[in-house]
Amino acid sequence: MADRGERYQRRQNVGRRRQQESRRARLHNMRRRLFMAAGGIAVVALAIGGLVLFMTTRSTFGKELPPTAFTPAHLEAFPPQQINNLPIPRLIQEHVMERNPGHPKGSMLVQYNCVDYRCEPGLVESLTEIVQGFPAHVYLAPYPTMDAKIALAAPGRLLLLDVLDESKILEFINDNSDR
């Protein structure tokens, strides 16, 4: 009879051991699935974030250039005058790019950087003459931290120049004056 009791006990012990191993295996599989799912979500999030970053910066990654659009944080103000001797704050530059019925069409920025770039004599005077030939919503100002010598910005468009090219400037302003 003792033999029968020992066999029963062994079967019970084997059954418990199998249950424990089964629980461990299920727990291990569940952890593995969770880690795989979390890793997959992280990869997708990084891919989407990278794509968004690439699409918003494109070839201007790391460069400071005039805005060609506006953000909700922009300031509801225009530059103080058409020809400015001081830089226009970035949030006001963004307001110039805003388009809706309350804003004049054709608003754009002509900016130059003679701090980081060697400007030929008379550059600012030439740009002033060009801009004065247009309505008051075409603004001229220095932009000393910009990564270009001359930049023209209109909504959705940007022209960068290394030298004064009056024909390109006039073409850009005329092409974007009704936008």
Q: 97-105 long-range contacts, Cβ below 8 Å, gap at least 24?
A: 97/67, 97/68, 97/69, 97/70, 97/153, 97/154, 97/155, 98/70, 98/74, 98/155, 99/155, 99/179, 104/135, 104/137, 105/177, 105/178, 105/179
- Return the pLDDT at 157: 93
Q: Is the pLDDT reported for residue 13 higher than 80?
A: yes
Mean model confidence pLDDT for the chain: 88
Q: 41 pLDDT exceeds 90?
A: yes
Cα atoms in the 13 Å half-sphere on the side-chain side of 109: 34
Tokens 């030929």, residue?
120
45-78 pLDDT per residue, tens: 998 888 776 666 555 556 788 999 888 888 888 8
Q: pLDDT tens digit string along 17-38?
A: 989 998 999 999 999 999 999 9
Give the single-character DSSP code of 140: E
Gap between the Cα atoms of 65 and 158, Å rounded: 9
pLDDT reported for residue 57? 56
Q: Please report the pLDDT score of residue 75 as a whole number.
A: 86
130-151 average pLDDT score:
94
Reading the block at residue 139, the tokens are 């603004």
- Interval 91-127: pLDDT, tens: 899 888 887 766 767 789 999 999 999 999 999 999 9
Is there a contact between 114 and 123 (Cβ–Cβ < 8 Å)?
A: yes
Closest CA to 176 of 154, 150, 151: 154
3-state DSSP call for residue 179?
A: coil
